[in-house]
A and B are shown apart, each in its own frame.
Chain A
C-alpha cells in the first residue's frame, strides 16, 4: 500500500502572528516557519503504517516555494521514504492545491492519503474534502484513530458530542485530528539520512493545473485586544453581574 502525505509549510505555531502594515496578510518575513502541526500527525501515522508493515512506500508532498523543501526534509527525517516538491511562489487556494494533489496521487498510484484536517495559517480546512471529492474517494475526516480491516479502512472520527466510526473502501483519504497520535522527534541519524532521500522537483504546470485565484483577500486585521477584567467583592456581586450585565444566567 502506497501512502501519500501532503504537508504545508506554515508560520510556526509558537510564533505570534503579526499583520502586515497594509493589512494585505500576515507578515512572514524573517519569522520561524515549520510543518503544519496537523500534517506532522499525518506523517507520524504514515510512518507507523510503514513500521507495522502495512505501508510499502510513504511519500511526502509539499506545494510551495523553494523553502518548502525544508518541510519535506522534516517529513523524510521522521521516516518517510521520499518526497515530491511542487514548486510555486504563488499563494495557492485550497481548490488549486487539491487539483495538484489529485494529479500527484494519480501519478504515484497512492492507495491512501493521510493529511492534516486543516492548516493552522488560514484554517480553511477545505483541501482534504475537495481532494477526496475530486478523486472520488471516501473520506474519514478529523480522525482519532485508523485501522485496516481487510480491504477497508476503519476510521474513528471526532464529532460533536463524541466519536463516530466509519468504514471506508480503499483507496481512501483520512484527515488527521490532534489526538490521532503523538508525532516523534526526528533523531539526528535520521536527519542525516533524510539528506540522501530523493525529492522529485515538479511545478503546477507539470500537472496542467490552472491555479488562477478565485478568492480575493480584502483585509486582514488583528483580533480585537481583550480588555482587562475586574474583580468583584463577593459571590452575590458575581451573580448580579452575570445576570444583569452579561445576561448569561
Chain B
C-alpha cells in the first residue's frame, strides 16, 4: 500500500503514453516481480518465463526497427522509467538478468549482417533468447584499448582466442557480441564478432559468489580456436569497437535510472519505517536527526531526477549529452551511496536483515558505481569530453 500523498517533482516532458507505460511497468513489477524478487535473488536465478513476459510488453525493443521485432522508435524517458521502476523491485540482480541483452541488441542492429539481424533480434527482444556483450577481459576492464583477445581470418572463418569476464547474462545467453583484436594496438584494431554459444571452441564458467546481483549470472567466456563464419564479423574490420562507443551512452543513462530507483527505495522504505517505529516516546520520523536524513535523501533524489529528465529531453531532441551522462552517472552513484548508508542507519537492525530492500540496495551500490564505467573512468571521460 502506497502512502496517500504523492510528493516529488512532476516530469515537465511527460506524455499520456509515457505515463501509461510507466504505470504498466509499475503494476507489472508490483505484481509479477516484487513478491518473488528476494526468493529469486537467493536462488540465484529468475525464471526464464519472466524474460518472455517482459519481452511481450516491448521493453527490450527501444531503438530497434519493427522488422527485427523492435518498437520502431526511441524514447529515453520510457527507457529511464523502466530502469527506475525495475531498480525498485527488491533485487537489482533481477533487473540485471533481464536487461543484460540490451547492450548487445544495439550493436547487432547497427553492425551485424541482415541475415543475423532477422534471425536473432526477434528472439532476443521477445525474451525467448538472451544476448550479451563481451568486452571486459580478465587482464583488464576499463582499459579497452589494451584488450588481448585476438581474431585471425582463415579462409571463410574467423578464429578467436582469448577470454572475457564479468559478462552479465553470459551463462544463459545464446548470442554474444565479442570484441577481439584484428589489427595493431589501441582502440583502432579492435573488431566485433557475433558468436553463438554452440560455436566450436567456445566455453564458459560462472563467476564465483558475488556481493550482490545474485539473481543474475556473470560469466567468464573462453575462446580456444573458436571458429565463426566470415559473415560474423560485425561492421568494419579494426573499427568495430569505435563504431559502438556511442551505444554506451544508453547503458550509462540506464544506470543513472537504476541508481535513482535504488535511491527512491531508500527514501520510501525509510519513511515507512520511520513512521511506524517508535523510540523515546514518539515515532522515529518526529526525531530531528531522522527528519534531516530523510530531507537530505529526498533533495538528492530531486537533483538526480531533474538531471535525468533534462538529459532525456536533450537526447529526445537529437543531441546526446555525452559528458553530462558521464557526470550524471558518478553523481548519481555518489548520491546513491549516501542514501543507502542513511537508509540503513534509519532502519537500524531491521535494515541489516536479509530479505528487505535496504539491505539489498546497500550491497548493490558498488556494482552500479563500478559497472558500465566506473566513477573514476566516468570522471576522466567527462573531462576529455569537455575538451580538458
Q: Tell me whether A237 is interfacial, beta carbon within 8 Å.
A: no
Contacts of B23 in A (CB 8 A): 32, 34
**What is the CA–CA distance of A18 and B1 in the complex, to the nearest angstrom?**
13
Q: Tell me whether A74 is interfacial, beta carbon within 8 Å.
A: yes
| Stretch from A95-103, A111-119, A152-160, A185-193 forming part of the interface with B | A185-193
**What is the CA–CA distance of A186 and B59 in the complex, to the nearest angstrom?**
11
Report yes or no: B16 in contact with A195, Cβ–Cβ below 8 A.
yes
Within 8 A of A (CB), among B2-19: 2-6, 16-17, 19
The answer to whether A185 and B3 touch (CB under 8 A), given A70-B16, A192-B17, A195-B17, is: no
**What is the CA–CA distance of A189 and B59 in the complex, to the nearest angstrom?**
10
Q: Tell me whether B303 is interfacial, beta carbon within 8 Å.
A: no
Q: Tell me whether A73 is interfacial, beta carbon within 8 Å.
A: yes
The minimal Cβ–Cβ distance linking B167 to chain A, given in whole angstroms, is 28
Report yes or no: A187 in contact with B2, Cβ–Cβ below 8 A.
no
Report yes or no: B21 in contact with A30, Cβ–Cβ below 8 A.
no
Indicate the member of A70, A77, A188 with the most B CB atoms within 10 Å: A188
Contacts of A192 in B (CB 8 A): 17, 71, 73
The answer to whether A189 and B16 touch (CB under 8 A), given A15-B4, A16-B1, is: no
Q: Tell me whether B356 is interfacial, beta carbon within 8 Å.
A: no
Indicate the member of B6, B28, B57, B73 with the most A CB atoms within 10 Å: B57
The minimal Cβ–Cβ distance linking B75 to chain A, given in whole angstroms, is 9
Contacts of B57 in A (CB 8 A): 185-188
Q: Tell me whether B20 is interfacial, beta carbon within 8 Å.
A: yes
Q: How many residues of B contact A (CB 8 A)?
A: 24
**What is the CA–CA distance of A108 and B26 in the complex, to the nearest angstrom?**
34
**Interchain pairs with CB closer than 8 A, number:** 60
Mark each residue of chain A from 185 to 220: 1 if its CB lies under 8 Å from any CB of chain B, else 0.
Answer: 111110110110000000000000000000000000
Report yes or no: B20 in contact with A74, Cβ–Cβ below 8 A.
yes
Indicate the member of B17, B19, B20, B78 with the most A CB atoms within 10 Å: B20
Contacts of A16 in B (CB 8 A): 1-4
Mark each residue of chain A from 11 to 35: 1 if its CB lies under 8 Å from any CB of chain B, else 0.
Answer: 0001111100000000100111010
Report yes or no: A191 in contact with B4, Cβ–Cβ below 8 A.
no
Contacts of B183 in A (CB 8 A): none
The answer to whether A188 and B4 touch (CB under 8 A), given A34-B23, A70-B16, A195-B17, is: no
**What is the CA–CA distance of A14 and B23 in the complex, to the nearest angstrom?**
12
Report yes or no: A186 in contact with B20, Cβ–Cβ below 8 A.
yes
Contacts of B28 in A (CB 8 A): 185
Q: For A27, give the chain B residue with the smallest CB separation.
A: B4
Report yes or no: A32 in contact with B6, Cβ–Cβ below 8 A.
yes
**What is the CA–CA distance of A235 and B297 in the complex, to the nearest angstrom?**
48
Report yes or no: B2 in contact with A32, Cβ–Cβ below 8 A.
yes
Contacts of A15 in B (CB 8 A): 1-2, 4
Beyond the given pairs A192-B73, A195-B17, 7 more chain A to chain B contacts, judged by CB atoms under 8 angstroms and listed by A's residue number, are A16-B1, A27-B4, A30-B6, A31-B6, A70-B16, A187-B57, A188-B21
A-B contact pairs, 21 of them (CB 8 A): A16-B1, A16-B3, A17-B4, A30-B5, A30-B6, A31-B5, A70-B16, A70-B19, A70-B20, A73-B16, A74-B20, A185-B24, A187-B58, A188-B21, A188-B57, A188-B61, A188-B71, A191-B21, A192-B17, A192-B71, A195-B16
